[in-house]
């Protein structure tokens, strides 16, 4: 049954990625792959936050945690698209833009994950204090 949950969550993550990416393309027409960057950064933040709060809170079953992590977030973010877009920028001669994309993706991706961890840990500590008060 876990495979079904992961598959369904993966389908939802892929649809969310497609919808958001298409929405970004309606106002961003530049060569820079802004949609993929924003999707990967938001996914990094979400996984960091979920890992350090919701998943640790004990409110979700291990099956749901796996479905969200592997299925939804895994299909929402994508390293392969990032890689292909970087190669396309390089092949088109936009070396500076490719370097900017790689640098922003790495630096802001790590920062987004850290920020998600930070918010998640903070919320988890509040959650624990709330549990003690009850």
Q: What is the pLDDT of residues 69-92, one digit of tens each?
A: 999 999 999 888 899 999 999 999
CB 52 within 8 A of CB 115: no
CB 92 within 8 A of CB 31: yes
Residue range 16-68, pLDDT digits in tens: 999 999 999 999 988 999 999 999 999 999 998 888 887 788 888 889 989 99
* Rounded Cα–Cα distance for residues 112 and 120 (Å): 12
* Rounded Cα–Cα distance for residues 41 and 115 (Å): 11
Torsion angle of the four alpha carbons 5, 6, 12, 16, in this order, in degrees rounded to the nearest 10 = 150
Burial class of residue 48 (count of CB atoms within 10 Å of its CB; 0-12, 13-18, 19+): buried
Which residue in the block uniquely carries the two structure tokens 């709060």? 53
* Rounded Cα–Cα distance for residues 105 and 111 (Å): 10
What crossing angle do the helices spanning 34-49 and 2-25 adopt, rounded to 10°? 140
In this prediction, residue 93 has a pLDDT band, given cuts at 50, 70 and 90, of very high
Q: For residue 111, is pLDDT > 90?
A: yes
For 130, phi then psi, to 5°, come to -65, -40
* Rounded Cα–Cα distance for residues 13 and 94 (Å): 30
């Amino acid at each position: 049954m876990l495979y079904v949950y992961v598959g369904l969550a993966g389908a939802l993550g892929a649809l969310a990625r497609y919808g958001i990416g298409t929405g970004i393309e309606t106002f961003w027409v530049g060569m820079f792959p802004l949609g993929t960057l924003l999707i990967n950064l938001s996914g990094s933040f979400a996984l960091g936050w979920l890992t350090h709060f919701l998943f640790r809170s004990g409110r979700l079953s291990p099956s749901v945690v796996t479905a969200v992590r592997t299925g939804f977030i895994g299909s929402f973010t994508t390293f392969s698209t990032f890689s292909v877009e970087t190669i396309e920028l390089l092949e088109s001669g936009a070396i500076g833009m490719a370097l900017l994309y790689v640098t922003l993706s790495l630096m802001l991706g790590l920062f987004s994950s850290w920020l998600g961890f930070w918010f998640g840990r903070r919320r988890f500590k509040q959650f624990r204090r709330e549990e003690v008060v009850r």
